[in-house]
Amino acid sequence: MPRVTAIEVFPKNPTIQSLNAKQQIRVVATYADGINRDVTREAYITSGNTEVADVSRTAVMTAIRRGEAPVLARFEGAYAATTLTVMGNRDEFVWKQPDTWGRIDELTAAKWQRMKIQPSGVCTDAEFIRRVQLDLTGLPPTSEQVRAFLADDRDSRIKRSELIDQLIGNDDFIEYWTNKWADLLQVNRKYLGPEGSAAFRQWIRGEVAANTPYHDFVQKIITADGSNKDNHAASYYKILRDPADIMENTTHLFLGVRFNCNKCHDHSFERWTQDQYYETAAYFARVSLKKDPASGDKKIGGTAVEGAKPFYEIVFENDKGEVTHERTGQQTPPEFPYDCNFTAPEDASRRQQLAAWITSADNQYSAKSYVNRLWGYLFGVGIMEPIDDLRAGKRCRNERRGGRGKSRS
């Protein structure tokens, strides 16, 4: 029998007006021979927000309360998603267009209007200066800074934008975001020693201070070669040494995709398969480390189950090495889990290909995952939660913490 190539969920993004109302979901599969078939009874359908809507075994959604519920359908390795909106009774709602200070505000206001939500007002100048400084530098403003900001009688848009420009790139900003990235990249004396961890952190600080474009920063880490004594980005491979571990961390950190669940079986609630796990891990199969003579006799770590490592190590790309698929026992060649347009040199190594693919403007997860991370840092909640777990079966939101105007920071 031909394989399933895709499935679709109908209706597309349905809206239910009243609580306890029901909506039948229909799943249609397309097979390799072009035939379409209704597979609703055989498909597995779940609600991503059971507080808003639940789904029966016969694919009937029941509205529980006002809100949005992602609906994820899976059938024979294919998946599709839609969103069910439960409006509830909004007969008394009257839309009042809020002030918009940029494109993000316009998109957010459009969503509020569709959902019939009247947002809170713009936060005060006193609230703003505290929030923006905590968000951008991790430090509260001084009393002198607050008094000066409140005494400034210029239009709020002007003085708020000016304050943001003053904060971005100052010493406190650089230190704060260096700490963020040091945490994400697991800068740790346990793996790098005092000198190595300090050098790796200083490298990160230099990249933040130089305002290195995000895609360049990511590429420098993924493609890092040489001794971590000289090329501090190479420390990334002293911390994570196994191809599968490196792959899990890299996709999680830079794509917001959690591949660890599909190591032993196809992902239970997402599109990712076990084959894709090993195919993606294969891009790190040839990463090798050897002792840097600069280490001398100095070593790091060492336990009863794991030997000590040289203080400094040289990271290089071997000309051989593969990962072995746990289920098939066969060596698995590298292959990207989904297609996107990217440019890499003809003689690019596996890691260089992967770095170009991850940072491509056409990669559907790369920019979204970073924007979602920053949104979560600045607003206290991501557009999708958790901020490092993007998947079809989750709802997106554009809540604001404590009043509008926050997006200006």
Same domain, 212 and 136: no
Contact between residue 108 and residue 398 where contact means Cβ atoms under 8 Å apart: yes
Distance CA(213)–CA(84), nearest Å, equals: 37
Same domain, 160 and 289: no
Locate the DSSP E strands across 11-146: 15-16, 22-24, 26-31, 36-38, 44-47, 53-55, 60-63, 67-75, 78-86
99 inside domain: no
Contact between residue 188 and residue 300 where contact means Cβ atoms under 8 Å apart: no
Same domain, 67 and 131: no
Shortest CA distance to 31 belongs to which of 8, 57, 59?
Answer: 8
pLDDT value of residue 65: 94
46 inside domain: yes
Same domain, 178 and 305: yes
pLDDT value of residue 405: 41
Last residue of a domain, one of 168, 200, 221: 168
Same domain, 219 and 305: yes
Same domain, 62 and 192: no
Alpha carbon 353 to its chain centroid, in Å, reads 20
110 inside domain: no
100 inside domain: no
pLDDT value of residue 355: 97
Same domain, 66 and 193: no
Tokens of 175: 């230190």
pLDDT value of residue 388: 86
Q: What is the pTM of this model?
A: 0.86
The secondary element (H helix, E strand) that includes residue 309 is strand 309-310
Tokens of 49: 């927000």
Residues of the chain with pLDDT under 70: 267-270, 304-305, 392-409
List b or e across 115-128, with b for residues whose CB sees 16 or more CB atoms inside 10 angstroms: beeebeebbebeeb
Q: How many CA atoms lie within 13 A of 212 on its CB side?
A: 18
Same domain, 209 and 294: yes
Place of tokens 């035939």: 35
Distance CA(280)–CA(258), nearest Å, equals: 12
352 inside domain: yes
pLDDT value of residue 261: 77
Same domain, 161 and 214: no
Same domain, 151 and 65: no
145 inside domain: yes
Boundaries of domain holding 290: 172-338+348-361
Q: Report the number of distinct structural domains present in the chain.
A: 3
Contact between residue 279 and residue 359 where contact means Cβ atoms under 8 Å apart: no
pLDDT value of residue 404: 37
Largest CA distance in the chain: 77
Same domain, 138 and 222: no
371 inside domain: no
pLDDT value of residue 174: 98
Same domain, 215 and 356: yes
